[in-house]
Amino acid sequence: MFSKVKSAVCLGIEGKIIFVETDITRGLPQMNIVGLASATVMESRERIKSATVNSGFDYPHGRITVNLTPADIRKNGSGLDLPIAVCMLTSCMYVNKAKLAEYGIIGELSLDGKVIGIDSVLPMVFSLIKNNIKRIIVPAGNYPEAALAEGAEIIPVSTLRECINVINSDCDINNLRDRFKTRIKRTSKFEGFDFSDIKGQERAKRAITIAVCGRHGMLMVGSPGCGKTMLAKRIPTIMPEMSGDEIIETAIINSVSGKNNKEGCVCIDRPFRNPHNSIGKAGLLGGGLYPVPGEISLAHNGVLFLDEVCEFNREVLDMMRIPMEEKSIIHFRMGQAYKFPCNFQLVMASNPCKCGYYGDQERLCTCSQFELDMYRKKLSGPILDRIDLKILMETVKYNQLSSRSRNSDSNLMKNEALKGIDFAKAHGREYGNANIKDKDIPVFCKLGFSEEKFIKEAYKSLNLSPRAYNKTLKLARTIADMDESERIREEHIAEALSYRTISNAY
Amino acid sequence: MYKAENIKGKKSIRTEKIDRKSKAFPEKLRRIPNPPKQIYCTGDLSLLEKKSISVVGSRKFTLYGKNVAMMIGRRLGESGIPVVSGLANGIDGFAHEGVLEAGGKIIGVLGSGIEKMTPRRNRKLMMQGLEMGGLVVSEYEPGEEARPYTFPARNRIISALGEILVIVEANFNSGALITAQNAADQGKEIFVVPGNINSQFSMGSNLLIRDGATPLIVIDDLIREIGIVPPDIVSEERTFAEDEKTIIEELKNLGSASIDILAEKTGKSPASVGAILTILEIKGVVVSVAGQIHLAK
């Protein structure tokens, strides 16, 4: 007997609807799966057999043919176990065929009949909703992320039998849902972190606030131990909350890279990625036979922090240029294009030289002129062009700080940043002045007569490049936003210029 | 690319060989304990007969060293005194830059053949010096490459060509100390710019002061020492806003400071201190090096 179930697979970060068809005919008992199935899908035969029997159903005696359509899409992943099993059992009259037509089903089976959570559920759910499917069965472990999708009833199940009971309407769905309430989690990794942990470095803190407010790229240069990494690690504590769309975009990427189902909850904090400097091309940009997102995509809507940026492979870093402009990266595999978004804010930290003590007040730099030149070369160039703020930091000595010294904490800095973000929004700009297009600069970054004169003078006496000119304007816009000033004033430009980047670094 | 540059170099530099036996060989060089067999020169040979001053220092420097080297260069350039130095990275180069800024004449002494000018990054400085009527001297054949021992060896020529030797900044193991030894052997007066006693970069030069070298306190002392009357200094008055004045005063007290320290001392926010400093930088009053703000000049 023939039956059909709707399911989905995931290609990159995009779900595709798949129809699973089974037909049981007379013949030697065997199961054949056709329709460009990968090895994982082929192996599902053994899991389905055991799971069916262990759930108390009779395994059909006959020749079972499973077809996955459309047949020209490569199907990978274990999410087709459950739909194939349900479809086969429908052919054996265990399931109400009329009711089954309303459902989309996703899930992996274990041998004892339990339904196990899988990766990439969220994009699959979206693709099913797009195809007007109103009720979607997902593994209980994937329920929190799947519940982010609106427009369909999401039903969590934990066993094969439960799944069939749901379809046959012998099971209370609300009861199931209550059992697996959506859990939303804030990143606990950075809990207890606060900017007040770092004494002094007020200038760096100010720069970070500006960077967060306008999503500007930032570079911190300083001797070892001056607090660069500590500061960077606290950036997540002052980042604004994500909007609904951003939460979903981020959840999709996390889902595809398997970061959601493991913990059974959804993270709604902006990502903060901190890859090690040994990272290669695939790790940073994404890749693989079935491409998975790399660090730049995992940092989508958040921050990518490159510590000791000079230790990274220069070639790998330079490959970030186009994705940074385009805010997305496309991988080609076997005739398919996989697109991953990567709208991230770049924060980098570096020592001033190879030994780390160039310009230090007390320790002697042991680098030769050649080593200094080589190190600076690494810092200059195309990536430095994408940086709007640069600060040079020095080690703070205990006795330089008095008790009345300023010591900004995360709360204060977050408020400052939010003030600017709200102001920008109220004036019709999206989050992130760093992303203002060059053609929009005259509109958003309008200058008065005296400011125009001031920046022209600076342009000449500080040897600015045309690119630096635009960067300064965007940065000045952010500083003015934080000041809640509609006009960019001279002091805003002057402050923006104090964070300017020079190609020969320092 | 490299070849093309080389050919270009050969075209533009014409060297003249002066043998020790020739009359044109400078008397200053003949008198020293181990004079070179011959020298190769390019540029204005008459500079060899003029009273000149040698200025040297180590390749690594602090901003203080750089500023002083340029100050000395400028002042000597204004006074029309040729400055002898090694055209090396660091202090040597800055002294010459100062001279050229003031429109003076330089005498560069190389540790390699003139065509193989080392370090190559200072080739531009050398060419500029030659254009402005300077002189470049080397005891090596024009095509000879530099070797580690050629640099210390040319130091005796640097000290010999100047009436006085000035050492700006020198570390323990700086080549400038070899020049000082040579100068002492040749009976020249040595002036040393005093540095902070806790500065690694002034360790060697401060030791020279302890051992009897004259500390250089006023630059014009150098000019008087060789019997020339220093020209008047032209000074300019400038006006600053109240905020700017506070910061300039603070910088005068501290010597140099980071923005954080300035903010702390003046009680302003780091943001506004940054803004004020930018304006001062545009006015050319302060410079920032490796995160430290210094008063310019």
Number of H helices, E strands in chain B: 12, 12
Q: How far is A222 from chain B (nearest CA, A)?
A: 8
Separation CA A233–CA A229 (nearest Å) = 6
Nearest CA in chain A to B277: A498
Instruction: State whether A97 and A135 are in the same domain.
Output: yes
Nearest CA in chain B to A491: B275
Instruction: State whether A232 and A291 are in the same domain.
Output: yes
Predicted local confidence at residue B8, as pLDDT: 47
Instruction: State whether A178 and A201 are in the same domain.
Output: no
Q: How far is B229 from chain A (nearest CA, A)?
A: 35
End-to-end CA distance of chain B: 39
Kindly state whether residue A454 falls inside one of the protein's structural domains. Answer: no
Instruction: State whether A97 and A153 are in the same domain.
Output: yes
More confident residue, A382 or B273: B273
| pTM attached to this predicted model | 0.77
Instruction: State whether A105 and A16 are in the same domain.
Output: yes
Element (H, E) at A317: helix A314-318
Residues in B touching A405 (Cβ below 8 Å): 264
Who among A362, A391, A506 is closest to B289 (CB)? A506
Q: What is the DSSP string of A191-213?
A: TT--GGGS-S-HHHHHHHHHHHH
Q: How far is A316 from chain B (nearest CA, A)?
A: 27
A251 touches A148 (CB < 8 A): yes
- Inter-chain Cβ pairs, chain A and chain B, closer than 8 A: 86
What confidence category does residue B7 fall into, taking pLDDT thresholds of 50, 70 and 90? Answer: very low
Nearest CA in chain A to B63: A359
User: Could B274 and A200 be called an inter-chain contact, meaning their C-beta atoms sit closer than 8 Å?
Assistant: no
Sketch the domain layout of chain B as residue ranges: 2-225, 242-295
Q: How far is B277 from chain A (nearest CA, A)?
A: 7
Tens digit of each residue's pLDDT, chain A (506 residues): 899 999 999 988 899 999 999 999 999 999 999 998 888 889 999 999 999 999 999 999 999 999 999 988 889 888 999 999 999 999 999 999 999 999 999 999 999 999 998 989 999 999 999 999 999 999 988 888 888 888 899 999 999 999 999 999 877 778 778 777 766 666 666 678 888 888 888 889 999 999 999 999 999 988 888 889 899 989 988 998 888 889 889 989 988 988 765 566 777 788 899 999 999 999 999 988 888 999 999 999 999 999 988 888 888 888 888 898 888 999 998 888 899 999 999 999 988 888 888 777 677 778 777 888 788 777 767 777 778 898 888 877 766 666 666 788 888 999 999 999 999 988 888 888 888 888 888 888 888 888 888 888 888 877 777 778 888 899 999 999 999 988 899 889 989 988 876 544 44
CA angle A184, A190, A195 (to 5 degrees): 130
Whether residue B193 is predicted with pLDDT greater than 90 in this model: the reply is: yes
Per-residue pLDDT averaged across B254-261, rounded?
83
B113 touches B140 (CB < 8 A): yes
Final residue of a structural domain among A161, A182, A203: A182
Kindly state whether residue A465 falls inside one of the protein's structural domains. Answer: no
Instruction: Please choose, from the candidates B195, B197, B192, the residue with its C-alpha nearest in 3D space to the C-alpha of residue B214.
Output: B192
Rounded to the nearest integer, the mean pLDDT of chain B is 86
Instruction: State whether A244 and A382 are in the same domain.
Output: yes
Q: What is the CA radius of gyration of chain B?
A: 21
Kindly state whether residue A420 falls inside one of the protein's structural domains. Answer: no
φ, ψ for residue B132 (rounded to 5)? Answer: -90, 20
Mind listing the pLDDT tens digit for each residue in B80-127? 999 999 999 889 999 999 999 889 999 999 999 988 888 888 888 999
Final residue of a structural domain among A411, A445, A465: A411
Instruction: State whether A248 and A312 are in the same domain.
Output: yes
Confirm or reject contact between B71 and chain A (CB < 8 A).
no
Within 10 angstroms of residue B187's Cβ, the number of other Cβ atoms is 8
Kindly state whether residue A479 falls inside one of the protein's structural domains. Answer: no
Instruction: State whether A111 and A236 are in the same domain.
Output: no
Instruction: State whether A86 and A22 are in the same domain.
Output: yes
Instruction: Please choose, from the candidates B16, B5, B1, B4, the residue with its C-alpha nearest in 3D space to the C-alpha of residue B114.
Output: B16
Instruction: State whether A138 and A211 are in the same domain.
Output: no
Tell me, what CATH number does A223's domain have? 3.40.50.300
Within 10 angstroms of residue B102's Cβ, the number of other Cβ atoms is 16
Kindly state whether residue A137 falls inside one of the protein's structural domains. Answer: yes
What confidence category does residue B2 fall into, taking pLDDT thresholds of 50, 70 and 90? Answer: very low
Q: Can you give the residue range of the structural domain that contains A151?
A: 2-182
Predicted local confidence at residue A398, as pLDDT: 67
CATH number attached to the domain at B242-295: 1.10.10.10
Kindly state whether residue A190 falls inside one of the protein's structural domains. Answer: no
End-to-end CA distance of chain A: 77
Predicted local confidence at residue A188, as pLDDT: 61
Final residue of a structural domain among A411, A434, A460: A411
Amino acid identity at A265? C
Kindly state whether residue A245 falls inside one of the protein's structural domains. Answer: yes
Fold assignment, B2-225: Rossmann fold (3.40.50)
Predicted local confidence at residue A46, as pLDDT: 93
Predicted local confidence at residue A342, as pLDDT: 93
Instruction: State whether A66 and A178 are in the same domain.
Output: yes
Predicted local confidence at residue A262, as pLDDT: 57
Residues in B touching A361 (Cβ below 8 Å): 292
Predicted local confidence at residue A275, as pLDDT: 94
Task: Convert A3-51 into a string of H (helix), E (strand) and C (coil).
Answer: EEEEEEEEECCEEEEEEEEEEEECCCCEEEEECCECHHHHHHHHHHHHH
Give the burial class of B31: count Cβ atoms within 10 A of its Cβ; 0-12 exposed, 13-18 middle, 19 or more buried.
exposed
A298 touches A275 (CB < 8 A): no
Tell me, what CATH number does A91's domain have? 3.30.230.10
Instruction: State whether A252 and A170 are in the same domain.
Output: no
Q: How many domains does chain A have?
A: 2
